[in-house]
Structure 1
Amino acid sequence: MKDKLTKYILLCLLVCIGTGCEQTEMPSNANIGKEVNVRFSLGMLPAEGTDTRASAPHLPEVENLIYDIWVLQFNENGILLDTETKYYPREGESGLYVEDFEATLIAAQNSTVCLVVNTDDPTISWPNNFPAFQRMLLDVQASNDLSLRDRMPMCGYWQGNVTGDGQVLSALLCRMMTRINLVVNNQTDAALAGGTVALENVPTRAYVYPRINQEALPDDAYTSEGFSDSFTSIASEASQEFYYYIAPNICSGEDHATKVTVTSGDKTWSVTLGTSAPDEADRIYTLYANNYYTFTLNLK
């Protein structure tokens, strides 16, 4: 399982690299350091998961809507070019499924240009160097409301020589969230009435930049508030589905793993979530970004 996960993360990064790193012409000495206009061509890294798209699908016109874009340019030494840290808000209240947009950069060699989407905050203070940016955590909104999924925080990047003159920079965006599809099956002999579904260890801070071997989330990345749903009744042999968007839970062990507790009357069922199955040795409790996980709870 670990090998499969490592291969998947590497594949995601290689896809990003394949799109984000391009062989480009060298900027002329006369243009280096000057503002130039470029156009970004944006794509979306496919979400990885299981077969529940039919009940609550990832729709491009819903989950890929863009309301605002931060553009950060780092030079070849990894230093942020503050003069070109720009915030591009959408006009009006509605989002747009953006495939390309224009931006202003600085002509430079070996630049890394990062895009951070849907922060809804024009006042973010960004780190002044690329290594610190890679370790940065961003506040995101955990939710059990599917109507809020159109403000999905996303990130992407491009690497190469910025020359301007109509240059098109291709970048893939990756969702900075994890979706949990929870299926509660009532396999008892009676209906469950007046119950609750509660999640513990719900992170609300996410790493902006996707990379392998990220540090485990700090304690303050988890919400201290209750995160739960209620249901009126689940008949015997029936099921009910619940959906949650949370920040990816990058954790090193079970203590910070996301847990689900279902309560009905005097009965309680609990399960600890993770990428690998509960009976696997060296279980992986991390829930990764840009993934949707389906967990089925059979209540007996």
Structure 2
Amino acid sequence: MNNNDPMKRFGYIVFSICLFALSACTPHEQMDQEEGIVKVSMGLTAASFTDDDATTRAEQPMAPDYENLISNLWILQFDREGILTGSEHKVLPTPVLNTTLEGIALRTGRGTVCVVGNLADGEIAAWPDNLSGFKSLVVDMGWLKERSTDRNVCLFGYYEGEIAAGTTAVNVVLGRLVCRLNIAVSAKTAGIFSNVRIQLQNAQTKGYLFPSDVYLSPEGGGNYTEEVVIGADKVLGTAPLYRYYYMAENVTEGTDSGERTRLQIKAKKGGAEYTKAIDLGRSDIHDYSLRRNNNYTFNIVLE
């Protein structure tokens, strides 16, 4: 993967919003060796990525020690023509952050090795027999809350290159197919707002298995249930109150506002109720994509 791959876009993002009245390319290589089989040691890690690209927008990668554990694996190999040449399924007795699988059979030659982690039983009825079909696969991550006990969300990584006759090891880093949204809500002046509620709208529950820049329309309205930040009998202070959401990545295209994930906020001020909807993303550069395996923070300040 290169540094522009959606799987590796990491950096920093914190949005502060004031509401008024709650308003792998590689060089040419030699011809593939005659096809054969090698047994390799495959190192798999669901770990934090690092990226020096200062233009990226993620606060930090997912916390791998409890959010990226690997429980089962599919290993698929496609040759240089994109034809599926082999697949293997492994179940780990205990979920782990990283592991090494011994004796994985791979065909020699140039191609792509795809590794899928934590795929739910029955999610994919049968693997496509070509890489193009594999890249079109969509998986359902469902609705995920921060306090969910099931954190084994689907993982994906791949190796693209030459498997030579002397290859003994292949290493793949796996990233989650979801992003995490941290919503921080506070008031500029304490004691003014009460009955504050938020709702994440146009949220994705499905995503492409292989990294893609194609937008997927959310199904079933794509809205989380409205959540109370502070009740009607209390008032919002200046210290932020946090809510967390997981969702499949939302890769927006162009300037279509209908594709963007939004946060709707409702609150009472002086006996009147106000409602505001905010598009989550970078309005300054018209980038509203929320990428996989990234951790975004949005600071909402009510005035």
**TM-score bucket of the superposed structures, by smaller chain:** 0.7 to 0.9
Q: Which residue in the other structure is 1:41 paired with? A: 43
Matched, 1:121 2:116: no
- Matched residue pairs, number? 274
Secondary structure at the residue paired with 1:67?
A: strand
CA distance in structure 2 between the partners assigned to 1:22 and 1:68 by the alignment: 34
Secondary structure at the residue paired with 1:202?
A: coil
Mean Cα deviation higher: 114-123 or 224-233: 224-233
What value does the CA root-mean-square deviation take over the aligned residues? 3.5
Contact 2:197-2:227 within 8 A present in 1 as well: yes
Following superposition of structure 1 onto structure 2, how do residues 145-294 of structure 1 map, counting pairs within 5 Å? 145-148=146-149, 150-162=151-163, 167-188=168-189, 190=191, 192-211=193-212, 214-220=213-219, 224=222, 226-231=224-229, 232=231, 233-252=234-253, 253-265=256-268, 266-277=272-283, 280=284, 283-294=286-297
CA distance in structure 2 between the partners assigned to 1:27 and 1:89 by the alignment: 32
Higher fraction of helix: 1
Q: Could you list the runs of 5+ residues in structure 2 that have no partner in the other structure?
A: 11-23, 51-55
Normalization by structure 1: what TM-score? 0.76
Normalization by structure 2: what TM-score? 0.76
Give 1:230 shift. Answer: 2.0
Question: Measured at CA, do residues 27 and 129 of structure 1 come closer, stay the same or move farther in structure 2, by a change above 3 Å?
Answer: closer
> 62, 87, 94: which is aligned to 2:66?
62
CA distance in structure 1 between the partners assigned to 2:58 and 2:188 by the alignment: 23
CA distance in structure 1 between the partners assigned to 2:67 and 2:31 by the alignment: 37
CA distance in structure 1 between the partners assigned to 2:180 and 2:100 by the alignment: 26
Q: Which residue in the other structure is 2:82 paired with? A: 78
Give 1:111 shift. Answer: 2.3
Higher fraction of strand: 2
Q: Which amino acid aligns with 2:108?
A: A
CA distance in structure 1 between the partners assigned to 2:227 and 2:275 by the alignment: 15
Question: Measured at CA, do residues 45 and 77 of structure 1 come closer, stay the same or move farther in structure 2, by a change above 3 Å?
Answer: farther
Q: Which residue in the other structure is 2:101 paired with? A: 101
CA distance in structure 2 between the partners assigned to 1:292 and 1:49 by the alignment: 9
Contact 2:70-2:117 within 8 A present in 1 as well: yes
Secondary structure at the residue paired with 2:70?
A: coil
Q: Which amino acid aligns with 2:274?
A: T
Tell me the percent identity: 23
Q: Could you list the runs of 5+ residues in structure 1 that have no partner in the other structure?
A: 1-6
Give 1:112 shift. Answer: 0.8
